[in-house]
């Protein structure tokens, strides 16, 4: 789900709208998909955009996904 981050003035791919107020929220530019031995490549859509780095790297914390 993409939600508008007013501070960044960008849409950020997050789990739910409340993520923007959580301490685990880490907006960062989408680096693309990582392939071992190849590095990062653009996603199919071509649009880089922003995403929550915590969600991308480690997944959402249990208290977020358990409801």
Q: What is the CA radius of gyration of the chain?
A: 13
Predicted confidence (pLDDT) per residue in 26-60, tens digit = 999 988 877 888 877 777 665 678 999 999 889 99
Do the beta carbons of residue 53 and residue 14 sit within 8 Å?
A: no
User: What is the pairing mode between strands 39-41 and 50-52?
Assistant: unpaired
Determine the pLDDT at residue 21.
Answer: 95
**pTM for the whole structure:** 0.75
Determine the pLDDT at residue 31.
Answer: 84
User: What is the pairing mode between strands 10-13 and 50-52?
Assistant: parallel
Query: CA neighbours within 13 Å on the CB side: how many for 55?
Result: 22
């Amino acid at each position: 789900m993409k939600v508008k981050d007013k501070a960044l003035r960008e849409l950020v791919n997050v789990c739910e709208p409340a993520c923007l107020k959580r301490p685990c929220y880490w907006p960062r530019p989408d680096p693309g998909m990582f392939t071992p031995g190849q590095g990062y490549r653009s996603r199919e859509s071509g649009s880089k955009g922003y995403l929550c780095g915590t969600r991308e790297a480690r997944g959402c914390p249990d208290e977020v996904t358990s409801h």
